[in-house]
Chain A
């Protein structure tokens, strides 16, 4: 059985450009590339080569790379080492589950499926799924959805409003009575949602 990976310069460069631009927009100006060029000996060295080429366009960005195995360990042991992390599909897949797990609950994890060129609408959704086991009970944590709303506003150019929502989320979660069950609190979906909205008013 054979399965192939195709990495084109077009495909690799455009995600790297987005990642470097994102890193440039953040205070730490730091980017980490997830790789495995010691084991996956054709596509990943190419990935590394493109990272290095893209980095040349961003002299203000400090960047490094880690093989995916040790990178997962560092996520747990030294999360403060990282700011923006970029990886190809499988590595991003692994890291983006590890990240929210390290942060405590998948109920607060948002995501954006973004078309940076803005030729098409981008899509914002919580990382969690439809959760049939708790559906209809009104106990789901709305924070991931609300944070996804903040990401959407940021994408639309309303950065100030986006940051306000994020801060309202932080302030809400600081209060134990506003936390939903997955965070050990007593609040239901509507109560937690209203608590965030009230802090925005």
Chain B
């Protein structure tokens, strides 16, 4: 039987919408995912999490629960919106309390950023093309610069991969 015709392919997706427009664009991402799953006959199991956002911080004075890693590890991928609400939580607190520990603890050492010229996007360049960008880091972040939340649980390693934030 053609596997494309069966619907036994199933993926568990952790959804973290985060703050600001993250909460507005994530539902549209899910809408596209639902449509794609239906068309290509696979199952997506979405689990929404209420952490990695300012609302969680206001309630708990931290960005994520202590067992965040255990909770998220059960999923095949994480679908993330955006984190940050500087009027309430400084960006270095919200970022270093959520995305940065995720990137480190989950060893996400590749930051992949495709670029594609779209016909409807106003391009300042004359030549149409397609390129893919990869950003990575093999820079060791000095221990002293790692907030306790990130340092305490970091596995010892000769180089600390750190995927960048724009």
Contacts and interface: CB of A to CB of B under 8 A. Distances in A.
Interface string A121-138: 111111111111011101
B148 interface: no
Contacts of A103: 115-118, 121, 123
Nearest to A133: B20
A93 B164 contact: yes
Contacts of B108: 113-115, 120, 122-123
Contacts of A145: 25-26, 28-29, 81
Nearest to B21: A140
Interface in A20-46: 22, 26
B76 A183 contact: no
Contacts of A130: 18-22, 81-85
B146 to A, nearest CB: 14
Contacts of A196: 28, 31-32
Nearest to B39: A200
| Chain B interface bracket (under 10, 10 to 19, 20 to 34, 35 or more) | 35 or more
A126 B81 contact: yes
Contacts of A172: 120
B113 A18 contact: no
A7 B136 CA distance: 12
A61 interface: no
Nearest to B19: A130
B150 interface: no
Interface string A81-123: 0111111110111011101111111001111111111011111
Interface string B129-166: 11111111111101000000000000000110111101
B114 A151 contact: yes
A116 to B, nearest CB: 6
A11 B159 contact: yes
A95 B134 CA distance: 9
Nearest to B117: A103
A155 B155 CA distance: 25
B41 to A, nearest CB: 9
Given A14-B109, A115-B109, 8 more contacts: A15-B136, A19-B134, A79-B131, A82-B131, A141-B25, A142-B25, A156-B76, A201-B39
Interface of B: 4, 9, 11, 13-14, 18-40, 42, 72-73, 75-87, 99, 102-103, 105-125, 127-140, 142, 158-159, 161-164, 166
Interface of A: 3-8, 10-12, 14-15, 18-19, 22, 26, 75-76, 78-80, 82-89, 91-93, 95-97, 99-105, 108-117, 119-132, 134-136, 138, 140-142, 144-153, 155-158, 160-162, 164-166, 168-170, 172-176, 178-179, 183-185, 189-190, 192-194, 196-198, 200-201
